[in-house]
Amino acid sequence: DAVLTQTPLSSPVTLGQPASISCRSSQNLVHSDGNTYLNWLQQRPGQPPRLLIYKISNRFSGVPDRFSGSGAGTDFTLKISRVEAEDVGVYYCMQVTQFPRTFGQGTKVEIK
């Protein structure tokens, strides 16, 4: 199984400042079709998860451009260029390259 390890697990951030979350996989996530199916999800309190980024770096429809994803192979990063109050929540990386699908432990982003 591809174990996803996120760091940090908690990220207190000042409004308007950047935030960065790392996701490291125990296995290479490149699919046989050449794509890397690594998603980033946001979960606000009391809400279902929401897709932010798919295939490492593609912003999903309606996602603000302050969110960006990067990485390759086993190391991936989600960056928020300037944190806003509505960004408070838990962020998960998720791999959909192989079964079983797996998630990182989640990173809680909160305002200082």
Under rule CB under 8 A, residue 48 binds other proteins: yes
CA-wise closest residue to 23 among 64, 71, 82, 80 = 71
- In sequence order, which residues have a C-beta less than 8 Å from that of residue 97 and are 6 or more positions away? 2, 29, 30, 31, 35, 36, 37, 38
Under rule CB under 8 A, residue 102 binds other proteins: yes
Distance of closest approach, residue 2 Cβ to other proteins, in angstroms: 11
Single out the segment in contact with other proteins by CB under 8 A; choices: 19-27, 65-73, 81-89, 103-111.
103-111
Angle CA(19)–CA(25)–CA(28) in degrees, nearest 5?
A: 125
Output 16 or 61, the one with its CB closest to other proteins: 61
C-beta atoms surrounding 30 within 10 Å: 15
Structure tokens given for 16: 């308007």
Binds other proteins by CB under 8 A, chosen from 19, 21, 23, 39: 39
Distance of closest approach, residue 66 Cβ to other proteins, in angstroms: 20
Distance of closest approach, residue 96 Cβ to other proteins, in angstroms: 4
Q: Is 55 exposed, middle or buried (0-12, 13-18, 19+ CB in 10 A)?
A: middle
Under rule CB under 8 A, residue 33 binds other proteins: no
Residues at the interface with other proteins (CB under 8 A): 37, 39, 41, 43, 48-51, 54, 58, 60, 90, 92, 94, 96, 99-106
